[in-house]
Structure 1
């Protein structure tokens, strides 16, 4: 049995892996009392033999979560730092550790799912895009603000753009609220579609598109492309990586 930890920009997700599935799982926002929330969530759960974590946050928050795991289960997480190659995925970055570990693990999960040549879009605080060839080669990617961060940046940097309420996404807005929300969400959709189109020749044809992250469902409805949802891709990729570290036997 393993404890898996995904420390993202907005929240922490965790799962207690038993064999091929989750015995328990949950999420805690960084704006919550993390230690208290984890203590409640983990109370009464069986103690895992090991803990593995993926983090895109600072060392202070990693240490806080590690302390929670130590108090609850008496174990210290092993933090994955992005490698040059693992689990059949070859990192395109010249400095492999510079690639976000969440992006790398999403590719590991996609390869484990047998997705083949694909584009992976992570739609959250940031919008990340990665192209993965059928043979596991990472062809590179893009990072942009996610739609909500675009909106936040726009409102924070302008004096006159002050909608009184959230808007709707429309093709051509006749008010500021709709214009702001439409511009941000449709810009994100256009970037995804452009990246898929530009990567298609290098991927040998139209790739599968996989969407993950907290805003994946909202963005999916705006795309002119078919897309599959990928739930918990970082945790699932982390499970594959943890399994590779401990050999072929199932987690117990």
Structure 2
């Protein structure tokens, strides 16, 4: 068994992989007492043979999770750092380590699952967009604030924009709360649609479009095209990487 760790900007997600199946899984926000919560939960889990993690957070949070894994299972995590090439996916960044490992692993999952050529959108703290061709080559992507971060940015930079409630996404809003929510969510939806329009000719004309991240279900209905919502793409890509390199002993 392999314990997989996905350390994202908003929360820690983790799963215990047995063969091809997640037999246990969980998630905690970073505002939780991570050490206590993990110790309590992991005390009930069977011990994995390997612990493999992917992180876009700071060293302090990586260390906290690593210490918890060591105490619970007597295993040190193997941290995946973005490579130039792995699992059939080629990283287009000249400085390959600067591509977020979460984005790379989502492409690993897409390629392994046979979804390439595709556009991958992930909606969370940031909105990330990537194009992956049929051969597994990453063509590049875009990064923008996610819809909630957009709203926070407006609130932080203005004095009089102070809605007294969370807004709804409407075609035409008649109040500040709904106007702010509508503008930010529709801006993200429009960006996804524009990215697909721009990259489709390079991806054979009709790429699969996938949507992941914590806000995927909320953004999907706002798009002008059908999309496949793909939850846990990072964990699944991490599983492919772990079985290819850690279990085999060929650390990338």
**TM-score, normalising length from structure 2?**
0.97
Superposed, 1:3-42 pairs within 5 Å as 3-42=3-42
CA distance in 2, matches of 1:211, 1:43: 34
CA distance in 1, matches of 2:44, 2:12: 20
Name structure 1 gaps, 5 residues minimum: none
CA distance in 1, matches of 2:74, 2:166: 45
Once the two structures are superposed, residues 177-225 of structure 1 have per-residue CA deviations (whole angstroms, 9 ceiling, x without a partner) of: 1110000000000000000000011111021110000000000011111
Superposed structure 1 runs of 4+ greater than 6 Å apart: none
Contact 1:119 1:196 in 2 (8 A): yes
Name structure 2 gaps, 5 residues minimum: none
Matched position secondary structure for 1:201: helix
Matched position secondary structure for 1:159: coil
CA distance in 2, matches of 1:145, 1:22: 31
Matched, 1:226 2:226: yes
Deviation (angstroms), 1:13: 0.4
CA distance in 1, matches of 2:38, 2:187: 36
Partner residue in 2 for 1:56: 56
How many equivalent residue pairs? Answer: 249
Partner residue in 2 for 1:203: 203
Deviation (angstroms), 1:44: 2.3
Contact 1:197 1:206 in 2 (8 A): no
CA distance in 1, matches of 2:119, 2:40: 37
CA distance in 1, matches of 2:247, 2:17: 16
Matched position secondary structure for 2:201: coil
RMSD: 1.1
Deviation (angstroms), 1:246: 4.0
Superposed, 1:46-85 pairs within 5 Å as 46-85=46-85
Superposed, 1:84-163 pairs within 5 Å as 84-163=84-163
